Amino acid sequence: MSDPRVIKLADILINYSLKVKKGERVLINASSELAKPLVLEVYKKVLEAGAHPTVNIAFEEIANIFYSMADREQLLDFPKLKLLEAKNVDCVVNIRAAVNKKALSSIDSKAISMRSKVLMPIQEEIVNKKRWVLCNFPTNAFAQETDMSLEEYEDFLYSATNINWEKVKKEEMRLKKILDKGKIVRIVGKDTYLTISIKGRKAIPCYGERNMPDGEVFLSPVENSAEGRIYYDLPAIYQGKEVLGIRLKFKKGKVVEASAEKNEKFLIAMLDTDEGARYLGELGIGTNYGIKHFSKDILFDEKIGGTVHLAVGRSYKDAGGKNESAIHWDMIKDLRPAPRIKYGAGSEGLNQGNGGAIYVDGRLIQKDGKFCW
């Protein structure tokens, strides 16, 4: 018998997040065979909506094999069939079901960066032109990464996804109004004093239509405006690699200095992917105070209430962004004072936050992780 929580999530993804209509073509991508229960329920919901589902189920080991064996010609080969597929679907469901979250940790970051550039046109076709939604399906790999049992992780995930998203939408509109009228955002905190222009940019509230779980309000900053410095005391994870203690210094919007306490070479390699990788593509404010456990998964962690995240690299055109890059790497800054959220496995020794604040045009809108309405 199917888990009713899985059925509920499938219904939210198809009928709320994507609002699938009769006759539409829906692509269902799953990162591994472990996503089968959710894939099947999503498939049923697509058919019930009178739409046409197509399913792609990957084997997680494929990526490791490719990057370990592919030569330069193969790395640079453009997958024309994937682009054709992307152009001919109306919406996409991406389901992550990790088998091993460290699968790519030993792969040369330059190879990953090279391939990312090749695949960018396909990514752009989906991200900027289609309706899409991304979610996790509970697996032991996700659970272990967050220092939970599988049962605990299931509760953690479904309590963050199977909620009243219309109510969330109403609450986020208040923050959007402030940001839409704003010109300058200032973020202060531990080793952090950063100013960013948002003049003319419109904030986008996120209430379950793209990411699941959701809970953030974001925008794309003016590309050449970031000035100052920021310290990320939470781990920043990208392409399976964990970078700790990131410090960035911005001048005229560009990262001019970068360091990290762990995996600094990887950080620099990603920032050197292309010209756009050293500029900000996103500023987001987390609004989901129901996510209390730092999970080392950006899908959850960037939504944590009391945090702010800034992404280097590709911006979102629908948020007014103009920055182009093969990467989009969200890095999270916790603005709450210690003691903070519970950390997952392997997080011992992380620096505790000293609190922080967000100002819009000099007006304090959040202090120590709590909004000042």
Top-confidence residue, 181 or 347:
181
Whether the predicted pLDDT of 90 surpasses 90: yes
* pLDDT given for residue 347 in this prediction: 39
**Confidence class of residue 345 from pLDDT cuts 50, 70 and 90?**
very low
310-343: b or e for each residue (b if 16 or more CB lie within 10 Å)? bbbbbbbeebbbebbbbbbbbbbbbbbbeebbeb
* pLDDT given for residue 298 in this prediction: 85
Q: What is the mean pLDDT of residues 131-146?
A: 93
Whether the predicted pLDDT of 153 surpasses 90: yes
Choose from 61-65, 213-217, 237-241 the range with maximum mean pLDDT. 213-217
Could you give the percent of the chain with pLDDT greater than 90?
A: 69
**Confidence class of residue 344 from pLDDT cuts 50, 70 and 90?**
very low
Q: What is the mean pLDDT of residues 33-52?
A: 97
Report yes or no: 204 and 233 within 8 Å, Cβ to Cβ: no
* pLDDT given for residue 353 in this prediction: 52
In angstroms, rounded to a whole number, what is the distance separating the alpha carbons of residues 287 and 65?
39
* pLDDT given for residue 351 in this prediction: 41
Cα 196 to the center of its chain, rounded Å:
20
- Summarised one tens digit per residue, pLDDT across range 188-198 is 999 999 999 99
Domains by residue range for the chain, with CATH: 4-161 (3.40.1830.10), 165-371 (no CATH)
Report yes or no: 95 and 53 within 8 Å, Cβ to Cβ: no
**Confidence class of residue 348 from pLDDT cuts 50, 70 and 90?**
very low
* pLDDT given for residue 352 in this prediction: 45
* pLDDT given for residue 290 in this prediction: 80
Top-confidence residue, 295 or 91:
91
- With helix as H, strand as E and coil as C, how does the chain read? CCCHHHHHHHHHHHHHHCCCCCCCEEEEEECCHHHHHHHHHHHHHHHHCCCEEEEEECCCHHHHHHHHHCCHHHHCCCCHHHHHHHHCCCEEEEEECCCCCCCCCCCCHHHHHHHHHHHHHHHHHHHHHCEEEEEECCCHHHHHHCCCCHHHHHHHHHHHHCCCHHHHHHHHHHHHHHHHHCCEEEEEECCEEEEEECCCCCCEEECCCCEECCCEEEECCCCCCCEEEEEECCCEEECCEEEECEEEEEECCEEEEEECCECHHHHHHHHCCCHHHHEEEEEEEECECCCCECCCCHHHHCCECCEEEEEEECCCHHHCCCCCCCCEEEEEEECCECCCCECCCCCCCCCCCECEEEEECCEEEEECCEECC
**Confidence class of residue 295 from pLDDT cuts 50, 70 and 90?**
confident
φ, ψ of residue 43 to 5 degrees: the values are: -55, -45
Residues in contact with 254: Cβ distance below 8 Å, sequence separation at least 6, in sequence order: 224, 226, 278, 279
**Confidence class of residue 349 from pLDDT cuts 50, 70 and 90?**
very low
Whether the predicted pLDDT of 363 surpasses 60: yes
Top-confidence residue, 348 or 32:
32
* pLDDT given for residue 246 in this prediction: 98
Whether the predicted pLDDT of 129 surpasses 90: no
Whether the predicted pLDDT of 56 surpasses 60: yes
- Mean pLDDT check: name the lowest of 19-23, 95-99, 248-252: 95-99
**Confidence class of residue 338 from pLDDT cuts 50, 70 and 90?**
confident
* pLDDT given for residue 205 in this prediction: 96
Report yes or no: 307 and 263 within 8 Å, Cβ to Cβ: no
Top-confidence residue, 66 or 292:
66
Cβ of 36: how many Cβ atoms within 10 Å? 14
* pLDDT given for residue 339 in this prediction: 57
Report yes or no: 302 and 284 within 8 Å, Cβ to Cβ: yes
Whether the predicted pLDDT of 272 surpasses 50: yes
Mean pLDDT of the chain: 91
Nearest to 294 by CA among 249, 353, 246: 353
CA neighbours closer than 13 Å in the CB half-sphere of residue 279: 22
Whether the predicted pLDDT of 249 surpasses 50: yes
